[in-house]
Structure 1
């Protein structure tokens, strides 16, 4: 992972072949979202504030406001294009990004008590991104933020903006009140299927607000513990999807697991397969080994990329989780643990590189092939 702005030698190794970055965080300043909110909530905010829990207040993240160390991200409340211009210059152009998927921010709505207020914030967030980013930069695509606490309001929001071609997935936080395989969430998946949108789980808000504690043993103290626990929560969501039979009811639904790493999935699906063989009579609707459900219905993103201690372990682990079809590159720009497109991965075979850095995401999200594909760029 990269912890500082990319300069020097990396700028000379600019990618010749364009890529898709599946996790870029834009800025949606709260003052900028106000104009998209109903008057009643603008007045409430003016009087009482935003009434949203904050993840950043509980743990010390890796950089100021979570951004890269030694990098000053411009913030100009009088000019909303300041950050967009910064994003173009320091990321889209630098790394020859054909498409960048904005995964938003504002996940604190997923831990809020007032679901009507959360729904209004989600709508304002989506409208802000559509107007301030997606309509102004053709390389960017967006994610629909939903108030997942209320599946009916969530489905309504998906139906409201899901037909917009620039919105290519639905996004929720990893922190939750119930595992995502629970039938409580079915109205959300029905809406995702109606609009052919993947359902994406992005790490955040674990143990915050109304969400369940970070671990089964309770809350943790330090950010490094909090960070480690995210994969465990994501694993619980994966098992829930499989054993609750979600994909039998919604066979065209695809689930993306974002920013929780990837190699931990190998021992998880091995164990799930073994347990399923012994306990399959308890879930007769699970018709195939769990590893097959993972292969068919889940997609994962690479950041933060965890690497084994020796290089000879990398290839078999990547093969075990079907990286050639299931893994998509993500940088997490501009956060402190940003993974560089040119430095994060070990050297890959050309076909594997192309699948991870472009084709898998293009197929999942229905994005066009490269406008220009000559040249070879291997990480």
Structure 2
């Protein structure tokens, strides 16, 4: 008996996008990424040790499932979110995301050139294993142009290499490298991103213990204080971008902070605006800091700060004008996964469409319709 599989072609019928997920983490299968790493770094750096063997992370259940959803591991024993078909089933069909922004996990390197080699490899790997016609037949995946921000010249070349790809939706960087982003060192990257009108997203990174972001009082002791530290790191980058004039030099630049939380931005805007008013004659920027935030910066919803008194969260959403600065994110396949059907219920009703899909469509320049999928769960 001959069995013919259904061809992987998109439906002619299209439906409106109602959920854009801005934080999904694909992982390569064993051996899949290595051929894409350019030499000499493949042999002299990444093949001399097991990548990630000393990652500092003590999240719940890490020893058992690497802090991933246990059901996200495919039956063949590969890592969570290494199978595009399983991810499609769980995230698109069952949870209701219409378009998902892929952000490959970090493979940290101490040498900037090696970090660029890894970014180069991740971009080719995404294009050939997730964004190709076989795995993206449904047109739901969007990739990230991974950059080693430590290498501005090479990063500009990498942006130019991928910016015309139909499914590359953003640039992806890490927040840890010094100096801070307001330094003119990074201007070539910002200028290239602004020229092509492509957003720059920053995702937190995990690395070896000596490469973690260093708070003023020293390294954290546990994962939980380390996670809070990431909001402080993002706050410092926000201040650097604004007060060092990055947005004045690059008025079309758009930044997205992924997985850094977001409720902290409200008091930070208050504080920056107060200092700006008090010292306006000494400050070179042209507008109130809060205006730069609302015009140039977005934050993802996961992790959602969830106070015991939910009215406190509702007030924070209102005061920060969440409909202007938030993007929905699930963090699939991590154990912290936020189902869009759960998250939407906690947003103010007037902001739900903006946060769940309108801001995502605008930020990533996405289509407002996608091919219909029979049986897909719908968030709206």
Please state which band the TM-score falls in when normalised by the shorter chain: 0.7 to 0.9
Q: Structure 2 matches for 1:196-235, cutoff 5 A?
A: 196-205=197-206, 209-210=210-211, 212-213=213-214, 215-235=215-235
The 8 Å contact of residues 145 and 172 in structure 2, kept in 1 or not, is answered as yes
> Displacement, 1:343?
1.6
Going from structure 1 to structure 2, the CA distance change for 1:45 and 1:29 (only over 3 Å counts) comes to: farther
Q: Structure 2 matches for 1:305-316, cutoff 5 A?
A: 305-316=304-315
> Displacement, 1:324?
1.1
The 8 Å contact of residues 17 and 376 in structure 1, kept in 2 or not, is answered as no
Aligned to 1:149: 150
Q: Distance in 1 between matches of 2:303 and 2:79?
A: 32
The more displaced of 169-178 and 79-88 is 79-88
Going from structure 1 to structure 2, the CA distance change for 1:290 and 1:26 (only over 3 Å counts) comes to: same
> Displacement, 1:352?
1.6
The 8 Å contact of residues 361 and 367 in structure 2, kept in 1 or not, is answered as yes
Q: 1:137-182 deviations in whole A, cap 9, x for unaligned?
A: 1200011111111111111111111221211111112222221122
Q: Distance in 1 between matches of 2:17 and 2:122?
A: 32
> Displacement, 1:208?
5.0
Q: 1:216-255 deviations in whole A, cap 9, x for unaligned?
A: 1110110001011110110000000000000111000001
Q: Distance in 2 between matches of 1:236 and 1:81?
A: 32
> Displacement, 1:210?
4.9
Q: Secondary structure at the match of 2:341?
A: coil
Q: Distance in 2 between matches of 1:339 and 1:264?
A: 20
> Displacement, 1:197?
1.1
The 8 Å contact of residues 173 and 205 in structure 1, kept in 2 or not, is answered as no
Q: Determine whether 1:170 maps to 2:171.
A: yes
Aligned to 1:113: 110
Q: Distance in 2 between matches of 1:143 and 1:167?
A: 6
Aligned to 2:13: none
Q: Distance in 1 between matches of 2:55 and 2:70?
A: 21
Aligned to 1:60: 58
Q: Distance in 2 between matches of 1:55 and 1:180?
A: 29
Aligned to 2:26: 26
The 8 Å contact of residues 169 and 364 in structure 2, kept in 1 or not, is answered as yes
Aligned to 1:328: 327
The 8 Å contact of residues 72 and 81 in structure 2, kept in 1 or not, is answered as no
Q: Secondary structure at the match of 1:362?
A: helix
Q: Distance in 1 between matches of 2:99 and 2:24?
A: 10
Q: Secondary structure at the match of 2:176?
A: coil
The 8 Å contact of residues 175 and 211 in structure 1, kept in 2 or not, is answered as yes
The 8 Å contact of residues 258 and 300 in structure 2, kept in 1 or not, is answered as yes
The 8 Å contact of residues 68 and 336 in structure 1, kept in 2 or not, is answered as yes
- The number of residues matched between the two structures is 355
Going from structure 1 to structure 2, the CA distance change for 1:115 and 1:347 (only over 3 Å counts) comes to: closer
Q: Secondary structure at the match of 2:89?
A: helix
Q: Distance in 2 between matches of 1:18 and 1:294?
A: 25
- Choose from 123, 128, 135 the match for 1:126: 123
Q: Determine whether 1:268 maps to 2:268.
A: yes
The 8 Å contact of residues 176 and 211 in structure 1, kept in 2 or not, is answered as no
Q: Distance in 2 between matches of 1:76 and 1:288?
A: 55
Q: 1:301-360 deviations in whole A, cap 9, x for unaligned?
A: 100001232222223211222211211100000001111111234444554211111000
Q: 1:187-230 deviations in whole A, cap 9, x for unaligned?
A: 111121222111111112478555641x1111011000101111
Structure 1, gaps ≥5 residues long: 1-15
Q: Distance in 1 between matches of 2:333 and 2:162?
A: 26
The 8 Å contact of residues 261 and 301 in structure 2, kept in 1 or not, is answered as yes
Aligned to 1:38: 38
Q: Distance in 1 between matches of 2:123 and 2:270?
A: 38
Aligned to 1:301: 300
Structure 2, gaps ≥5 residues long: 1-15
TM-score by length of 2: 0.85
Q: Distance in 1 between matches of 2:311 and 2:58?
A: 35
Q: Distance in 1 between matches of 2:327 and 2:79?
A: 33
TM-score by length of 1: 0.85
Going from structure 1 to structure 2, the CA distance change for 1:76 and 1:115 (only over 3 Å counts) comes to: farther
> Displacement, 1:83?
1.3
The 8 Å contact of residues 67 and 73 in structure 1, kept in 2 or not, is answered as no
> Displacement, 1:81?
9.6
